[in-house]
Amino acid sequence: MSKKITFLILSGPTKEHIDPVRYISNESSGQMGSALAEAAVKKGYDVIFISGPAKVLPKYVKIIDVITALDMFKAAQLNFKKADIVINAAAVADYRPTKISKHKIKKNCTTSVMTIKLKQNPDIIKYCGENKHNQVVVGFALETKDLIKNALLKLKNKKLDLIVANGIGTFNSKNSTVSIITSNSILEIKNRSKNIIAEKIINETIRVFKNIKSCKVNS
């Protein structure tokens, strides 16, 4: 009996605290990641689901809760080898403060400017792309300009098998327009629900995964 295909799906935003009450984050609701997990489960696949503090979480899936980008990176590393397909639908903070204040930072009345030093977070999807072994790795590209161009660069530079390109209008929206991109194809899906888009993404990743397996067997 063949092994059931396992998805590792990352979802939601991350929070990078500045002090106990303030943090750096973004508008990701977790809708797409949750839709992907539910679509995969409905098709009979196993799902490992890692989520930042999202507004929307999937049903029928055990959730690994994380807060920061470092938390998400460590959880992804721990579960990476268990997965056949990795999809990073999370909106991970690229940077985090170099120091977190133990107490709330008080307003300084002598200056109107406050400087916060940041350092780069680990690139989770790049790690997966560079360390994959007969696995399919899928990223998302959210851009405000040159969407397809930037998505293709990310696909190549991070050694991804597939990337989903979408505009900023996808945040907190039930519908979205995306392009599902591989090295030799672009499938555009216009103004459809995230559930429908998620199903199409799952189908495309399975197609790519089976193609990789077939090439390995025939080589």
φ, ψ at 170 (rounded to 5°): -75, -20
- Find, among 61, 197, 80, 164, the residue nearest to 127 by Cα: 80
Identify whether the C-beta of residue 212 lies closer than 8 Å to the C-beta of residue 137.
Answer: no
Distances (CA, A) of 87 to 112, 117, 165: 42, 30, 13
Catalytic residue among 26, 150, 175, 195: 26
At 47, give phi and psi (nearest 5°): -135, 130
Residue 218 annotated as catalytic: no
| Phi, psi angles (nearest 5°) of residue 53 | -70, 80
Name the residues annotated as catalytic.
Answer: 26
